[in-house]
Structure 1
Amino acid sequence: MCSVVGSFVRILILFAIGVVLLIVSIALNAATLSTINKRFDEIKNANGQTTVSIGSTTRTTTQPPSSSGNLTDSIRIADLMYHLNELQRIANDASNTRAIGTRGFSETVNYIYNYLAVNAPNLNVVRQPFLVKNFTVKGNPILILSSGGSNRTFTYSTNLARSDFTYANYSAPIALTEFNLTVVPNYGCDPADWQNVAGQAALVVLGGICTFAEKGELANKYNASALLYYNHGLTTASLAPVIARLRQVNTLPAVCLSYAAGQELVRAANMTSASIWLQIEIENYPPFMIENVCANTKEGNINETIVIGGHSDSVPAGPGINDNGSGAMAILVLATNLARLYQSGNYIKYKYRVRFCWWAAEEIGLVGAIYHAQQAQNSSAIIGNRLQDYLINLNYDMLGSPNYMLGVYNGSSAKPGTPPSARNGSIRISETFSSWFDRNNLPWDYTDFSGRSDYGPFLAAGIVAGGLFSGADETKTPEQRARYEEKLGLGQGGLAGAILDPCYHKACDTTDNINQLGYEKMVQAAAYMLEYLGRLDDLPTWLYPNGRQTTELPENYFPNSDYFRDVDS
């Protein structure tokens, strides 16, 4: 009895210690962000902003950007946060989301359009509508393994951590049907892997150099009857099932399993003849309309256009203030401030047209950016709206992560197949960004350039691309923390061992999730880049010194992104 009591006491003590450590961790995260933002306020006030105390609230007021200054100096955190607070208000009134198909998204698009119409009347602002497909899953999908004379029913839950499997987005519906089960060898990225799947349910592991959608296309091509992905289990983060997204034209019923469930199916298929029973009830809705928004300077050569873009939608789970309200509102401030400088009469206008764009539906597969790029390569596209008229695409997606890095897309890491002329120009953009951070004695890091955001289709079509990224679910290393603290000062390096944005794709991605110091520096870097490129005498030659190689974007182009690329699951 004493032994039992002692064991129980030890369990309680361990549980209490765990709770305390969790509370301390949360407190440290909050304290670090609070300290950084407090220090940032001190820096800003020392630089001449006015603080006004109203009761217990302190507000910082700013004046409109100086009409005789440069674009970089016009960037002020108060302007950026004003817009982010407006996005937060929109989300608050729309069930805490700005995802496509919701009131929150529609009001976000209207906010951008209307703000530009009032505050930047010298820009041409246009909406670009297009249709997207939507669906809902009715009831719970069913997956049963039949092997060795017994049946095993797998657990479905919307909580992926507790689920054995979940449906794939754009899965085809299927009534309860039995399929023989076969295992696809390797990662299923080679057509040779799919030679024996005809008429069967094909089980394939995540990973390799191909996307969910590319595996789905091979499954369709070689006449599989159903498609079952399973997670690879190479890390603790890759044990649960993930949301696989297929092309909207997919015709196969498809699900994604956890690592454990996948291994169970593999063993059953390899040891004896095994079959599965699968049911997925789906209600497809009529396609609905969403919109990109673009704003163009009236000045500058329309055949030589600088495109600045970022996505305007959030995920359904939250308001998306960092992802990607931070990028979208950075572009809004850049557009408005450049328009004001152009109106001042004291600012030399660029010889190149600038096009600011807010892409819709990035969160379901870069849909808005892909649509725009495909329309721009259409033979009916008018001069100024053709891909050949675009010199560069600069992308801003997540600029205010709380445990941030000052991340620069690394042009050298462009994926194989990128046209060499676009790759070389993209490297020059990376070097220009990093040089600005160096000159301003700021730390910075290179970040992956594999096509995971809206620049992807432009880069694939041979257009130089670049941009900034403050981090999502990456972890800050001790080396990063030390380097950032050395440059920014004691207490400014963030938390080593913590992810850069703990609210990534979550309900807590609110205005409280923004690191204002990092955010302002990122937008200042973006402003510098635009002004630097706009001032060059011969931007086409600077970007493409060996000539420009254009590549037609395939009709079925699908993004190599962290939502679709299996290896990142």
Structure 2
Amino acid sequence: MCLSKLTSTCTFILLIGVAILVVISIALNAAILSVINKRFDELKPENGQTTSKTTVSSSPTMTSTTRPSIYFNLADSIRIEDLMNHLNELQRIADNAGNTRAIGTRGFTETVNYIHNYLRNNAPTLNVFRESLPIQNFTIKGNPILISTINNTNKTFSYSTNLARSDFTYVNYSAQITLTKFNLIVVPNYGCDEFDWQNVAGRAALVVVGGACTNAEKGELANKYNASALLYYNNGLTTTNLAPVIIRLRQTNKLPALYLSYVAGQELVNAANLNNVSIWLRIERENYTSFIVENICADTREGNINETIVVGGHSDSVPAGPGINDNGSGTMAILVLATNLARLYQSGNYAKYRYRVRFCWWAAEEIGLVGSVYHAQQAQTSSATPGNRLQDYLINLNYDMLGSPNYILGIYNGSSAKPGTPSWAINGSVRISDVFRSWFIEKNLPWDFTDFSGRSDYGPFLAAGIVANGLFSGADETKTAEQRNRYEEKLGQGQGGLAGAILDPCYHRVCDTTDNINQLGYEKMVQAAAYMLEYLGQKDDLPTWLYPAGRPKPRLPDDYFPNSDYFRDIDI
């Protein structure tokens, strides 16, 4: 194989191959999205309304949709026209803000303002508040330097912002260091066991990516065992695992860190096995600056504040696109749920819940669940007031990506929570999975379980011991033939989607626009979310139902490290 020879010619050939694959991938994504949307174009919701795009006023106080005057349950109040009106507004915001709604941009600020203003104007009975939090801005200054010394021979490794041509790249939240020499030590295995790090003190630790732990967890072990510097290198398992990758460590990290290509890393490994190897590092960064982002929450005035149902999702996009599915779809689903519940409460025809409902839109999920983690941390401080403490939260329902074009009707599988999750939270989470599943079955709709990995904003609540669950229509996973056939059987011929195609080919891309939303799937997912909220709200004794054996006081572990889906491929 070409990888084992490590010749410059082979490396060049492989990199050319990678470039060709990238071009092909982009073309295929565009083609897949076009076919998926065409396939679903003629599909209509059960109410007979067409799924063509609706229009919206530029004011958050009005829409062009005519609404029936009375609904008797929350699920029946969910209409695709309302949802798409809001998504069109998010698209307008992104269009006027450089095609993004990422934190630190005008698009994010206007998204939060839109939610706030719409709630104030259309759900005045809700108590709306904002929660400000600082975000550290990491910016590299100049070019980092990496030099090796092997048998008294120096080699300077190349750095480029074009990662396919670079021997290494920086790591977000790396410590700064002037040109300094370190002895190199290779961390055995994948560095996932504490024993692997026993001899790294005072040295630069070189560790391969992969294994049963994340890069972030390896960084924690390197800090714990007093390494002086940390070098990751790619594992070369496929052609997509050759180049260096930009990853991140905790914002509190104290180590200088770099990420090397497979070839550069393997070169150092081979040399270290035969010789004493030293390296020189220099990493300069701009002075850390912070900017403020905001969570926004809205509470019902009715219900016990010490028994709160939290409904949340993130309001930011990635920098690469407008994020209309990820996560405009969840953002606006929650806005419609909040507004419609407030209207039902005011109608006089709807029984109010004995539990308070808190709707929240979390900031900065895409860089590691920052907004939801901050909220959870503040909620467990001694200064947290009744109604704002973790112990006041019964459950967290999370809605992140509900409108994928080649969608699944995905339910978080409460049984698949990662090891270490408090058992009392798992039991209730499984019960929620079962309720969602029963609703889809009753409506004669297909459904799938999805991973309950903690990689969205329910993560910190679940880790603290709070029951969690939610819905997910799919990202860069592939729809199987079995799924396509099962969905077609339930939805009708030609409506099962595309087997072998990505569920959302525009995931984290510039094409994640309103054209990327499957309106039938989106409406069904939000109706399921509405049913769940009403089901829980109308329970006589929700705490006992969720925690039949009781629960200790919730607490987020001190060593909790959040990983969002944005970092999924580079953290594992």
When normalised by structure 2's length, the TM-score is: 0.89
Amino acid of the residue matched to residue 554 of structure 1?
A: P
Unaligned runs of 5+ in 2: 1-19, 56-62
Please give the per-residue CA displacement for 1:359-406, whole angstroms capped at 9, x wherever unaligned.
111111111111111111112211111111110000011111122111
User: Which residue of structure 2 aligns with residue 34 of structure 1?
Assistant: 38
Is 1:527 the counterpart of 2:523 in the alignment?
no
Q: Measure, in 1, the Cα distance between the counterparts of 2:358 and 2:498.
A: 37
CA contact (8 A) 1:419 1:551 kept: no
Q: 2:419 aligns with which of 416, 419, 426?
A: 416
Corresponding letter in the other structure for 2:48 = A
Corresponding residue number in structure 2 for 1:391: 394
Q: In the superposition, relative to structure 1, how do residues 52 and 512 fare at CA in structure 2: closer, same or farther (>3 Å)?
A: closer
* Pair 66,246 (structure 1): closer, same or farther in 2 beyond 3 Å: farther
1:112 Cα deviation from its structure 2 partner? 0.8
Task: Between 462-471 and 253-262, report the one with greater CA deviation.
Answer: 253-262
Which residue number in structure 2 is paired with residue 371 of structure 1? 374
Q: Distance in 2 between matches of 1:24 and 1:508?
A: 13
- Check whether the contact 1:50–1:62 (CA below 8 A) recurs between aligned residues: no
Report if aligned partners of 2:159, 2:167 keep a CA contact under 8 Å in 1: yes
**Residues of 2 paired with 1:400 and 1:238: CA distance?**
30
CA distance in 2, matches of 1:503, 1:145: 41
Q: Aligned match of 2:129 in 126, 131, 141?
A: 126
Secondary structure in structure 2 of the residue aligned to 1:136? coil
Q: What does 1:109-124 align with in structure 2 at a 5 Å threshold?
A: 109-124=112-127
Q: Which moved more, 1:504-513 or 1:520-529?
A: 504-513
**Secondary structure in structure 1 of the residue aligned to 2:273:** helix
SS at match of 1:283: coil
Partner Cα distance (1:507, 1:163) in 2: 25
CA pair 274-170 structure 1, distance change in 2 beyond 3 A: same
- Pair 555,276 (structure 1): closer, same or farther in 2 beyond 3 Å: same
Tell me how far 1:44 sits from its aligned partner.
6.0
Q: Secondary structure at the match of 2:280?
A: strand
Please state if 1:267 is matched with 2:263.
no
The secondary structure found in structure 2 opposite 1:315 is: coil
- After superposition, what is the alpha-carbon deviation per residue over 1:460-495, rounded to whole angstroms, capped at 9, x for unaligned? 111000001111111111211121122212222222
How far apart are 1:200 and its partner, in Å? 1.6
Structure 2 residue 260 is the aligned partner of structure 1 residue 242: no
Contact 1:29 1:495 in 2 (8 A): no
Q: Write the mapping of 1:173-188 to structure 2, written as runs, cut at 5 A.
A: 173-188=176-191
Q: Which SS does the other structure have where 2:287 is aligned?
A: strand
Q: 1:484 aligns with which of 476, 484, 487?
A: 487
Corresponding letter in the other structure for 1:387: L
Q: 2:428 matched to which residue of 1? A: 425
Seen in structure 2, the aligned counterparts of structure 1 residues 282 and 23 have a Cα distance that, compared at 3 Å, is closer
**1:303 match:** 306
Indicate conservation of the 8 Å contact 2:244/2:260, yes or no.
Answer: yes
CA distance in 2, matches of 1:475, 1:231: 24
SS in 1 for 2:503: coil
- TM-aligned CA distance change 1:180 to 1:306, over 3 Å: same
CA offsets 1:106-153 (integer angstroms, 9 cap, x no match): 111111111101010010000011112112112332323333454444
Query: Separation in 2 of the partners of 1:469 and 1:456?
Result: 14
Distance change >3 Å, CA 290–CA 24, structure 1 → 2: closer
Counterparts of 1:121 and 1:544 in 2: how far apart (Å)? 33
Q: Shift in Å at residue 448 of structure 1?
A: 0.8
Show the counterpart of 1:550.
553
Deviates more, 1:281-290 or 1:151-160: 151-160
Q: Report the secondary structure of 1:46's partner residue.
A: coil
- 1:96 and 2:99 aligned: yes
Matches within 5 A, 1:417-566: 417-563=420-566
Which whole-Å CA distance do the structure 2 matches of 1:44 and 1:159 have between them? 49
Supply the AA of the counterpart residue of 1:35. R
Q: Show the counterpart of 2:72.
A: 69
Residue 170 of structure 1: how far off its partner (Å): 0.7
Q: 1:52 to 1:543 in 2, by over 3 A?
A: closer
Report how far residue 23 of structure 1 moved. 6.0
The range that moved more, 306-315 or 136-145, is 136-145
Matched residue type, 1:212:
N
| C-alpha distance in structure 2 between counterparts of 1:500 and 1:172, whole Å | 38
Secondary structure in structure 2 of the residue aligned to 1:346? coil
Question: Aligned partners of 2:430, 2:25: CA distance in 1, in Å?
Answer: 43
Greater mean deviation of Cα atoms: 234-243 or 395-404: 234-243
CA distance in 1, matches of 2:228, 2:528: 51
2:471 is paired with a residue of what secondary structure?
A: strand
Q: 1:233 to 1:80 in 2, by over 3 A?
A: farther
Deviations 1:409-451 (A, max 9, x none): 1100111111111000000011111111111111111111111
Q: Match of 2:281?
A: 278
SS of the residue corresponding to residue 376 of structure 2 reads: helix
What fraction of aligned residue pairs are identical, expressed as a percent?
A: 75
DSSP-derived class of the 2:246 partner: coil
Q: Report the equivalent of 1:359.
A: 362
Cα offsets for 1:172-217 (capped at 9, x unmatched): 1222333222111122232221121122211112233433333222
- The residue that corresponds to 1:46 in the other structure is 48
Alignment correspondent of 1:8: none
2:425·2:466 contact (CA, 8 Å) conserved in 1?
yes
Q: Partner residue of 2:3? A: none
Residue 144 of structure 2 is matched in structure 1 by 141
What corresponds to 1:220 in structure 2? 223
Of stretches 479-488 and 417-426 in structure 1, the one that deviates more from structure 2 is: 479-488
**Preserved contact between residue 319 and residue 507 of structure 1 (Cα < 8 Å):** yes
1:325 maps to a residue whose letter is G
Query: Is 1:195 aligned to 2:198, yes or no?
Result: yes
8 Å CA contact 1:301–1:351 kept in 2: the answer is yes
Contact 2:247/2:570, CA 8 A, preserved across alignment:
no
Distance 2:29 2:136 in 1: 42
1:205: which partner in 2?
Answer: 208
Which of 346, 350, 373 is matched with 1:347 structurally? 350
1:169 and 2:155 equivalent?
no
Amino acid of the structure 2 residue aligned with 1:440: K
Quote the residue 2:60 is aligned against.
none
TM-score by length of 1: 0.90
Once residues 511 and 24 of structure 2 are traced to their aligned partners in structure 1, the CA distance between those partners, rounded to angstroms, is 22
Give the secondary structure class of the aligned counterpart of 1:82.
helix
